[in-house]
Amino acid sequence: MRNRCFIVALLFPLALSAQNDTVRIMRQAQTPDRTEVSEQVFAMEDTPELKKTPDSLTRVEITTIHHYVDTLTQIAYVPDSTAQQREEIIRVDSTDRRGHYLEAYVGASYGSLGYGFNDGNNKVNGFVSPLIQLQYAYFFHPNVGVGIGAWFTTNTSIAHLGGTYTWEDQEDTDLEQHYTHTSEVVEWNERQITHNVGIPISLQFQYRKEGKKAGLFAAVGVAPTFAVMNSYRVTKGQVMHSGYYPAWDLTLTDMHEFGTKDYTQEESAKGKLAVNPQATIFADLGAIIALTRQIDLFVGGYFQCGANEANKSEKHELGWKDDTFDFMEDYTGAYALNTTKSSHPYEAGLKVGIHWHHIGKDKHNTIDYFDYFTRQDTLVQQIARRDTIITERIDTLTRAHIAKAAEEVEKFNKIYFDYDSYKLSEASQKYLSSIVGVLNKVPDAKISIDGHASEEGQRKHNEKLAYNRAKAVAKYLVAQGIDKDRVIVIGHGSLIPNEENVNHELPLDRRAEVKVVQKQSEIQ
């Protein structure tokens, strides 16, 4: 064997010289494989000569790029040899279940914040929750081990509230009468979510007969769990106010403080939950199926439940705090009501996972030998280059276009809305589509959208409603291709009446007006 190595060492310089004689170089110049053409438009500065004319000049720069590819090919025939090894493998016993494991799981369950109410008007339902878990385990016995890791879960509850609240002998200073004020909570749904990060510490059991692919797996333990990003949101809720006047034997339902109020628009309709850290007790039970000598598939169920009280909210009553009839001015979610029972978040569901068993490396016995051959090497390189041609042309843009666009937009500039609404009707969308066509012809023009409301309702509500009407028009125009940087949104409330509304009809004041913003230098 040593003599063979010596002979190979003597022949190696001769192989290098043979390589130089067998190199061929080919270079191929191809026609352009693709061509790009682009235009850039530059506004030219006004000069005293240009201001005398009604047109402005723009410079258009046209760039044409031709892409070429040069191919360089080298082919070499070289005598060579390589040292080879033949291996004899002595495998480690993979039936020994002791050692280190990495375990990863995903799952889905039904769970909730685990609380209820003491009264019959309110109730709580759970929702589907996800699970992501990763942990390390060490089995000191083929069937028994310990584990530690981390998980991420979500608890979701849907609270349904209801109830009627009455105030006797209230004074109506406007009508100079005493009356009974009644408020009823109807169709109230509130979604409560907590996202939890836990550190599960477990005692694990596994059992599989020798020669079998399937076995059993179980785990029990406790996990310090911390709730993060906790929130509630009222997704559906109405409050109906009415007043009974005994002097007239009359019930009022639609004037001043009476009527139906949508609570989902209130500021306190969403907020954060106050949740204590948990000591979560959990258990897993399922089957393990061998996929490879190192990997098992787990399929089974799991259960988790908080051992201590989770709710640390400052409790309040469901109702009104004083006689202003502002519904629940200190409301911080159904979870914080003083009628809630003890809270113990729970989950019960299914999960699947992978158990990876670390097995030591197999032992190898190797035999060395040389393999002689002639090698053909081929090297192909592609070199990209490009030629660029830049040309220019001068275009003219009529300055009167923007002024003409303003006149055309004025024909459709008033968009009307229903009472207490900012939803666009089909007719309004058709008007706006015609405005889009005009604005596309003058891309330099900006537009102002002014929202208005009628005199009905309170001032703050009307200001918000007017702004939402203008915003709805702007959103539609942007969706039709108008650049959002060209749009200015303004809400005026009910301060500015419709100049065309000579008969003071309230529906004509519920509107949004679209105007073209013109620079003085553009229309001179």
Q: Which residue has the higher pLDDT, 281 or 60?
A: 281
Strand partners, 299: 287, 352
Task: Kindly tell me if the per-residue pLDDT of 225 is higher than 90.
Answer: yes
Interval 81-117: pLDDT, tens = 777 777 767 676 667 888 999 999 999 999 999 999 8
Please name the residues in contact with 12: beta carbons below 8 A apart, sequence gap of 6 or more: none
Q: Does 2.40.160.20 match the CATH number of domain 99-357?
A: yes
Interval 392-423: pLDDT, tens = 665 554 445 556 666 666 655 788 899 899 99
Report whether 335 contacts 276 (CB < 8 A). no
- Return the CATH architecture of domain 401-523: 2-Layer Sandwich (3.30)
Distance from C-alpha of 75 to C-alpha of 91, rounded to nearest angstrom:
43
Helix, strand or coil, per DSSP, at residue 435: helix
Task: Kindly tell me if the per-residue pLDDT of 149 is higher than 60.
Answer: yes
Taking alpha carbons only, the member of 239, 241, 250 closest to residue 177 is 250
Report whether 112 contacts 155 (CB < 8 A). yes
pLDDT of the residue at 9: 47
Q: What is the 3-state secondary structure (H, E, C) of 30-41?
A: CCCCEEEEEEEE
Domain extents for the chain?
2-84+372-391, 99-357, 401-523
Task: Give me the helices (H) in 284-420, please.
Answer: 400-410
Quick one: angle between helices 426-441 and 400-410, nearest 10?
Answer: 170
Distance from C-alpha of 192 to C-alpha of 273, rounded to nearest angstrom:
8
Lowest-pLDDT range, 220-224, 257-261, 275-279, 306-310? 257-261
| Amino acid at site 43 | A
Distance from C-alpha of 202 to C-alpha of 138, rounded to nearest angstrom:
11
